[in-house]
Structure formats: C-alpha cells, structure tokens
Structure 1
C-alpha cells in the first residue's frame, strides 16, 4: 500500500524494500480499507462519516416548521451551538475520567441522550425528530427516507454491505473493527467510481455471519465489475473460492512461511499439492454442483 500510495498519490510514507510493482500506470488512486475506528469520540457516527448527515440536516431545515422558526441546517448539527444540548455539547453522553482506568461515558441527564435541545426536537418529519432519525437502524432509515434520494442512497450503501442493523447515529466508540471497515467500504461505494482504483482489505470477513459474507462478496465483485482492482488478505474459503486470482503464501506460518506456494485461479490452487489452502478448497469446490467457480451473484 505504501509503495503504491507513494507512486500514485504522492504520499510521503516510506515503503518497505521491494523490487518493483508493475501496472500502477493503470490506476489513479489506492485505498486501504482497514479496521481502524471511523472516529474516537461519540461525535463520530455512520451518518457523519458517510456524508448522510448533511442531506438529513438539509431536509429538516427545509420543513415548514423549521422555515417558520428561521432554522438553518446548522441548527440540526450537534457539533455547533444553537440546536444542540449544551449540557453535553451534543455528545448525548458525559465523559467521566477514571484516571487509572478507561474513561466511562454516561447518558446526559438533560437531553437523555438525544443530543439536541427541546426547541430543535419540536421540528418533526413524519412524526419523528432528528434525534429519532439518528436512533433508527439503517434499514428503518432507508424506508423512512424512501422519497428522499439524497439520504436514501447513502443509507442504502450501508445496508448493501450488511450493516442494516446498526443505528444511523450510533457512536463510533461502540462499533467493532469489522463494522468500521464496512462503513468505510460503504463510503467508497457512494462515491463516483473512476474504475481505476486499487482497494486493499485485510480480513474483512472477521466476525461476519455467513449471510453477511455473501453480501460483502457482492459489493467486492461490484467494485471489480466497475473496472477497479480489489486485493483481499483473507483465510475465509468462501471469499477465496470466488476470487479471480489467488496468491497462496506458506507453506507454514511465521518463520516457516513467506514463500509463494501457488498462484492462479482457485482451480489451479487445488492442483498444488503443497498448498494447505488448496486441500481445503478442493473439498469446497467438489461439493458445488458442476464443480464450476461461482461468482457472488
């Protein structure tokens, strides 16, 4: 990633020693979608990170009640004074420092976790305030804003990567590494594609249910269908069996590894006797009707 980023995007990061990387002239950017948090404070959430919060605020500011009161989109932001609860400064929680222990967050006893003051919460859309919207799950939000494309489309990408169950305004500090990674992936999906991007993901299926793995694969294949390149570091056979090309490193782990044992299609990996991956992959492919490699359809 560092080498590609330095060549393509002018990054100042220093890559490790390597001979060369071929084909970078066909790319215009490289993105490392890792499992680091999308934010380290309660202010960060899926809505703010993906950009869905801006059209939500704009929509509420355009409602008749908001116009009558002279409210602008900033009124519905919990990051600035005006519409937010000043007791918690829009966090919805109060941080208690525990000195030698991790900090503890408790619900604000003024706004009761709603982040906003009473006047802001008086503005309703379909009977819901902006605090109610932030408390909805992504799946509920897609239905609620079905007639508002600017909001619906942003939320739809979160649902597409298997995050329909998280809350729109869920605090970043409560999200797992896998969830944070998929939120980043959703953000990339919502951007205009150039078809020349290299995406790098490190074990994106960690902690995922089988059904969610299938959803993730659909997204990755969609990126590839747009002309992009996706490199996935993964042990999950459900991912490996749908890959266009596999690089199997080994033969052992740690000091006993580091060698390129096999490379090629999943079928080619199966034929390499030294490949442990190939041995397990063979069983999986043989159980499939016709033994043909399936795409994420």
Structure 2
C-alpha cells in the first residue's frame, strides 16, 4: 500500500533510501490497530518514488487523516504539496538564509504569496490541473473489405 512493491524480503536495510525506510515504518504502523489519535511525521517520503507509487502513498496518508490521525509531511514534491490541508512554508532559502516563516495556509493561499518560492512553483501547477484522460477500451477488430488491384501481366 505504501509503494514498496519492488523491495525484496530479506533486503538489507542499509540499501534503502531515507524515504523507503520511512515507508517501511509506515507499513508496520498500518498493520497496528488504529486509534485515530496518532501524529505521523514524515521527512520527504516520496524520495525515489515513481509517480504511481506517490499516488499510492498519498492514498494511505489521506486515509490516515480520514481516520482522525494527524500527518505532518516535510516535502518538496508538488504532487504532495498540492494535496495538503495546510502548508507551513519555511525559507526563503536553505541553510543560513532559511528558517523563517514565509507563508502559511492552503495550497491556494500559499500560491498567492509573492515571497514564497513554494508558492511561485505551486501557482501554475494548481492552474494547470492535470485532467484524467480515459483511454477508450479496445474495440473488437472489424474486418474491412479491400479492393484488390489488378496485376498487369507483361507480354
């Protein structure tokens, strides 16, 4: 459920990325009896994930929230950021030039804050929401008659 289908039983923990290790812990947590009173803090859990696995992880995180838990995610992935209920944007840069509160609010609120780098990247992303395109089912092949071109015989 958390996008770790490719990991093999017995694989050494030292071969896992930080995001993968967090998702292993999350999978273990999901196997426990839910109380609806748990605070989950994840640091960039989408690191190394394929888009489809990010989608699966988001489903799990939203299910945790739907069951009354609190999920706090530190993340740079816009797929995750755009689905947040509330964003706390720290910056404006990293290291010595960071750590200041730049913006807070919904993704739409943060997208309107001019001093927010997150907002600058989020704004066009929110405007150009991806549309789900349904691929039509393959129709049964129909036989069509083709005209045969007569072949000229040389004399």
TM class, shorter-length: 0.7 to 0.9
Question: Which of 134, 147, 169 is residue 10 of structure 2 equivalent to?
Answer: 169
Deviation of the 1:184 alpha carbon: 0.5
Q: Distance in 1 between matches of 2:8 and 2:94?
A: 39
Q: Which residue of 2 aligns with 1:262?
A: 103
- The two structures have a TM-score, normalised by structure 1, of 0.42
Which residues of structure 1 form unaligned runs of 5+? 1-159, 291-297
Q: Which residue of 2 aligns with 1:139?
A: none
Q: Which residue of 2 aligns with 1:196?
A: 37
Q: Secondary structure at the match of 2:7?
A: coil
1:271 aligns with 2:112: yes
Q: Secondary structure at the match of 1:192?
A: coil
Which residues of structure 2 form unaligned runs of 5+? 132-155
**Does the CA contact (< 8 Å) of 2:39 and 2:69 recur in 1?**
yes
Q: How many residues align?
A: 131
Deviation of the 1:162 alpha carbon: 1.1
Bigger radius of gyration, 1 or 2? 2
1:229 aligns with 2:70: yes
**Does the CA contact (< 8 Å) of 2:3 and 2:53 recur in 1?**
yes
Q: Which residue of 2 aligns with 1:23?
A: none
Q: Distance in 2 between matches of 1:172 and 1:253?
A: 29
Alpha-carbon distance change, 272 to 167 in structure 1, aligned in 2, over 3 angstroms: same
Q: Distance in 2 between matches of 1:203 and 1:268?
A: 22
Deviation of the 1:289 alpha carbon: 6.3
Deviations 1:187-227 (A, max 9, x none): 11111111011111111111111111111111111110110
Deviations 1:140-180 (A, max 9, x none): xxxxxxxxxxxxxxxxxxxx111122223333343333322
Q: Which residue of 2 aligns with 1:214?
A: 55
Q: Secondary structure at the match of 1:261?
A: strand
Q: Distance in 2 between matches of 1:164 and 1:255?
A: 39
- The two structures have a TM-score, normalised by structure 2, of 0.79
